[in-house]
Amino acid sequence: MIAEITYKNRKITIDLNKPVDLSIPLRDGAKNPLVWYQNPPKMTPVRQDEDTYLVEQGAAVNFRDIYFNPHAHGTHTECYGHIAEEIYSVNKALNTSFFMAKVVSLVPETHGDDLVFSKKQLVRNLRPGETQALIVRTLPNTSKKKTRDYNHTNWPYFLEEAARYLRESGISHLLVDLPSVDKEHDDGHLLAHKAFWNYPNTPRRSATITELIYVPNKVKDGFYMLNLQIAPFENDATPSKPIIFELDKVIVQS
C-alpha cells in the first residue's frame, strides 16, 4: 500500500508494505540486551492451586506473567519524567506517532578514557530544522547488540554539547542503539538527558529518547518516515517498536 503525506509543503510517498523494524524483541531469559545490573526478564506460567496455565500441560490457554524493566531489558522510549521529580508519563508525552527521521551512522570519538559523540560530529551530519527525529547507528554495527550484556562496559555516550545541539536543531525524538545517551557511571549528572529535554529550565514535555534499538546494516543513511509505536504504560518509559519506511528519494535532495 502506498501512502502520500505532505511535509514542509512537499508531497512524499511511502511504501507501507516495506517496513523496517528497529526494535529488539523482549524474550524470556538471557537472550536480551541487559543493562543497569538487573536480572534477565522472566515469562512464567501462572500457577493457581494445582493448575499450571500452559497448553502443553493440559490447560486451555497459555497464561504467563512477565517480569521486566523497560529501561534494562530492550527497546524502550522514555520522556523527561525519567529524570524529573514530577511523575510524568511517556504515554502522555507521545500524542502522535509519525515523524520525519534521519538515520546517521557514527563512529564514537575518543575522549579521555571514554568514547563519545560530539557536537562537531552532529554538525557534520545534521542541519538545523531538517528533520524531527534522529536515529543514530553506532559503528561498528553487529547483531551482538541484540543480546549484549552492557553492564560495566562504559558504552559510548553523548557529550552535553551534542545533546544541546540536537535540541537546538529541532530534534524532538532521538533514537540510539545504546543503553543510554549518558555515561554508564556519571554520578547521576545525566548531562545529555538534561540538555536534550532542557531540564529543569523549560522541560520539553513532548520530546522522547528511545534507547536499545538495532538498525540493520541494510538500512542506508538518509531520510525515512518513522512510526514510533509504544505500549500504553503510564510510566516514564515503556517498551516501544520504532518502524521506518523509505521515502520518495526527492526528500533527500530538499
Please state the domain extents for the chain: 2-26+70-253
pLDDT digits (tens, 9 = 90+) for 205-231: 999 999 999 999 999 999 999 999 999
Residue 129's alpha-carbon distances to 89, 98, 218, 225, 254, in angstroms, are 27, 17, 26, 16, 12
- Contact by Cβ (8 Å): 35, 71: yes
The residues near 99 (Cβ < 8 Å, ≥ 6 apart) are 132, 133, 172, 173, 225, 226, 228
Report the top-level CATH class of 2-26+70-253.
alpha beta
Q: Name the grid cell of 14.
A: 511511502
Residue with cell string 521506518:
244
pLDDT digits (tens, 9 = 90+) for 12-44: 889 888 999 999 999 999 999 999 999 999 999
Supply the pTM of this predicted model.
Answer: 0.94
